[in-house]
Amino acid sequence: MENKAATSEETAFDEIKSFFDSAPPLKDGDGIVKKLNGFLEKNSLPTRIGSKRVVCVTSGGTTVPLEQRCVRFIDNFSSGHRGSTSTEYFLKAGYSVIFLYRRGSYQPYCTTLPDDPLLECFEITNESDVQVHPSHSDAVKKAIGEHQAAVKGQNLLKLPYTTIFEYLQILQLIATSMKTLGPYAMYYLAAAVSDFYVPWESMAIHKIQSASGPLDMRLAQVPKMLLVLRNDWAPKAFFISFKLETDMDILLKKAGNALRKYKMHAVVANELLTRKEEVTVVTTDGNISVRRDKAKGVTDVERPLIELLVEKHSAHIEDSRNQQ
Ligand code: 9Z3
């Protein structure tokens, strides 16, 4: 049994190595490492109760390019609402956040602003100056004030990605930098990550032409990065992954499988249509349903979800200390 597990981990390791070896080089990898190290230096100062907690929140969906000079791509559904709202609650709870987000997806403190904030929140006065429209004034002040406080206090680092290649390459850099935080590090993996991709070396260079008729395409499986992230890149960290399904009948079973297979501390199971109302936190101690309860003034499901996860992270840190 143990041998079988070791073999599947070795296979995953080999697949991941070949995924990274064949991926296009990450643009400005050195710049990203510099930002990460600067951020973590500021945030790994010891506190009265141990070390500062840092969470890596992933948000938005990865793309899978079909051409190297990409005109077309396959996308994964995620607006980034879950990741950005959760980031706000983690910051409020005293965490520092590395926000790995899909370019163009929702940003922390902006989810309650209108779709086109620049055009809808501002107006030109009779004196040809620009001012915030009074009806949006409170929302804009709150968003700018809270965002500035997080960035100035160096508690929020935002790193953008677009493709599945960039996402996994940056996640590896984050894990390498965060390793020294041990149990004080948390991973909250809300991004919707492609299961299939076109390997770079077998990808068309130029725009695929339609003249030759229908397109047949074989997609390779994205290696299961969670296994290596959990076991090798960040073995002491606290891990939360997400399971998204559209069929309620299989959701909890699949979340339970992911919990065991990847040794997650919790898997947040959500169904596409009800994801903003209710999620189920699946753990080895049982399932906990978390709801947005308007009657109790709870405006989103992320607030009680983050409260619960912060509590569980505290227990994880306590356990790790007792084992030392
Ligand atoms: C989620 O399940 C997120 O909760 C949502 C959030 C993407 C549904 P929005 O960004 O939506 O607020 O619009 N994320 C993880 C989805 C995912 O790809 N999970 C993989 C899977 O289900 C495992 S890593 O197999």
Distance 61 CA to ligand 1 centre (A): 8
Measured CA to CA, the distance from residue 80 to residue 108 in angstroms comes to 9
8 A C-beta contact, residue 291 and residue 297: no
SS3 251: helix
Both structure tokens of 301: 């499901």
229 and 98 fall within a common domain: yes
> What is the value of pTM for the model shown?
0.94
- The range of the structural domain enclosing residue 40 comes to 12-107+156-208+220-236
Pocket test for ligand 1, best of 243, 257, 281 (most atoms within 8 A of CB): 243
Atom of ligand 1 nearest to the CA of 275: 8
Across the range 1-26, mean pLDDT stands at 79
Instruction: Please name the residue whose Cα sits nearest to atom 11 of ligand 1.
Output: 78
Percent helix, strand, coil in the chain (nearest 5)?
Answer: 45, 25, 30
- Percent of the chain surpassing pLDDT 70: 96
Pocket test for ligand 1, best of 78, 89, 164, 171 (most atoms within 8 A of CB): 78
User: Residue 213 above 60 pLDDT?
Assistant: yes
Does residue 204 sit within a domain?
A: yes
232 and 253 fall within a common domain: no
Measured CA to CA, the distance from residue 147 to residue 141 in angstroms comes to 10
229 and 302 fall within a common domain: no
293 and 191 fall within a common domain: no
Q: Which residues pair with 60 in a beta bridge?
A: none
User: Residue 7 above 80 pLDDT?
Assistant: no
Distance 158 CA to ligand 1 centre (A): 19
Atom of ligand 1 nearest to the CA of 270: 2
170 and 306 fall within a common domain: no
Pocket test for ligand 1, best of 76, 82, 227, 264 (most atoms within 8 A of CB): 82
Across the range 107-136, mean pLDDT stands at 91
Contacts 24+ apart (CB under 8 A), 256-259: 256/282, 258/226, 259/283, 259/284
| pLDDT value of position 148 | 93
Distance 188 CA to ligand 1 centre (A): 11
Measured CA to CA, the distance from residue 97 to residue 39 in angstroms comes to 10
- Percent of the chain surpassing pLDDT 90: 81
| pLDDT value of position 127 | 87
If one counts every other C-beta atom within 10 angstroms of the C-beta of residue 94, the result is: 11
| pLDDT value of position 197 | 96
Residues within a 6 A CB radius of ligand 1? 78-82, 189-190, 192-193, 241-244, 270, 275
Q: For the chain, what is the largest distance between any 2 Cα atoms, rounded to a whole number of angstroms?
A: 77
Res. 6 pLDDT band, cuts 50 70 90: low
Distance 47 CA to ligand 1 centre (A): 33
Q: Among 23-37, 166-180, 205-219, 240-254, which is the least confidently predicted range? A: 205-219
Both structure tokens of 38: 């600067």
8 A C-beta contact, residue 269 and residue 243: yes
161 and 310 fall within a common domain: no
Does residue 112 sit within a domain?
A: no
Does residue 193 sit within a domain?
A: yes
Nearest to 77 by CA among 63, 66, 61: 61
Measured CA to CA, the distance from residue 266 to residue 258 in angstroms comes to 9
φ and ψ at 110, to 5 degrees? -115, 0
User: Residue 163 above 60 pLDDT?
Assistant: yes
Does residue 188 sit within a domain?
A: yes
- What is the total count of domains within the chain? 2
Across the range 255-265, mean pLDDT stands at 97
Provide the sign of the torsion angle of the four alpha carbons 159, 93, 176, 195, taken in this order: negative
284 and 195 fall within a common domain: no
User: Residue 79 above 70 pLDDT?
Assistant: yes
Res. 111 pLDDT band, cuts 50 70 90: confident
Distance 248 CA to ligand 1 centre (A): 15
173 and 53 fall within a common domain: yes
166 and 274 fall within a common domain: no
8 A C-beta contact, residue 107 and residue 113: no
Distance 70 CA to ligand 1 centre (A): 24
Mean pLDDT of the chain: 93
163 and 295 fall within a common domain: no
194 and 316 fall within a common domain: no
Atom of ligand 1 nearest to the CA of 241: 24
Distance 153 CA to ligand 1 centre (A): 29
Residue 97 maps to which CATH number? 3.40.50.10300
User: Residue 102 above 80 pLDDT?
Assistant: yes
